[in-house]
Amino acid sequence: MEPKKLYRSRTDRMICGVCGGIAEYFNIDATIVRLLFVLLGLTGGSGILAYFIAAIIIPDDK
């Protein structure tokens, strides 16, 4: 069995597909992940920074 890998989603994306990719990896709804990033963004801006760092680091889905 091949190990699970984290990719940015091509099908479930709003900006870069980071939240959709994280949701697919953990097998949860992408809306929950998006809400978590928004909450992090509202509490000091760390969610916005984390999102764009993840968009750079996480590779695009094949």
pLDDT single digits (tens) 8-58: 988 888 889 999 999 999 999 999 999 988 888 888 878 788 888 999 999
Q: Is residue 57 part of a domain?
A: no
SS3 label, residue 16? coil
- The whole-number pLDDT of residue 33 equals 92
- The number of beta carbons lying within 10 Å of the beta carbon of residue 42 is 11
Structural domain count, the chain: 1
Q: Is residue 58 part of a domain?
A: no
Q: Is residue 61 part of a domain?
A: no
Whether the CB-CB separation of 36 and 22 falls below 8 Å is answered with no
Q: Is residue 51 part of a domain?
A: no
Q: Is residue 36 part of a domain?
A: yes
Q: Is residue 13 part of a domain?
A: yes
Q: Dihedral angle at the C-alpha atoms of 7, 13, 15, 17, nearest 10 degrees?
A: -10
Q: Give the whole-angstrom CA distance, residue 44 versus residue 40.
A: 7
- Residue 32 lies in domain: 8-44
Provide the CA 40 distance to its chain's centre, in angstroms: 13
pTM: 0.84
